[in-house]
Amino acid sequence: MTFGNPYWSNKQKMNCLQRWLIVQSILYYELSTSIVTDQVFDANAKQLVQMQKDFKSEAEETEYAYMFYDFDGSTGFDLYDRTNKHDKDYLTHIANTLTRR
């Protein structure tokens, strides 16, 4: 994912990538649809994994750190099950909105 805003911190970028990956996982595994290719998902997952290694302290402070503490980028099948109720409702709403577009 390319970030056009040069003022975003690494933490903000990781938050964005995490949210994007969770929504894509919900679309694919829970709603049986997809709006991106596997290659795009894999590239963004790889980018997040590298950023979490490079910026470990910021990664531990992200909004979804509780879900991505052991994420290796190989799959997103269990991300939905890791979410708390509030995040599950919020992120599923985003995914459902995307399916209507």
pLDDT tens by residue, 53-95: 999 999 999 999 999 999 999 999 999 999 999 999 999 999 9
Pairwise CA distance, residues 67 & 70, whole Å: 8
Kindly state whether residue 4 falls inside one of the protein's structural domains.
no
Residue 98: the pLDDT is 95
Kindly state whether residue 24 falls inside one of the protein's structural domains.
yes
Kindly state whether residue 3 falls inside one of the protein's structural domains.
no
Kindly state whether residue 2 falls inside one of the protein's structural domains.
no
Kindly state whether residue 6 falls inside one of the protein's structural domains.
no
Kindly state whether residue 31 falls inside one of the protein's structural domains.
yes
Kindly state whether residue 61 falls inside one of the protein's structural domains.
yes
pLDDT tens by residue, 1-60: 988 888 999 999 999 999 999 999 999 999 999 999 999 999 999 999 999 999 999 999
Number of structural domains in the chain: 1
Kindly state whether residue 1 falls inside one of the protein's structural domains.
no
Domain extent, residue 53, equals: 11-99
- Residue 57 sits at φ, ψ, to 5 deg, of -65, -40
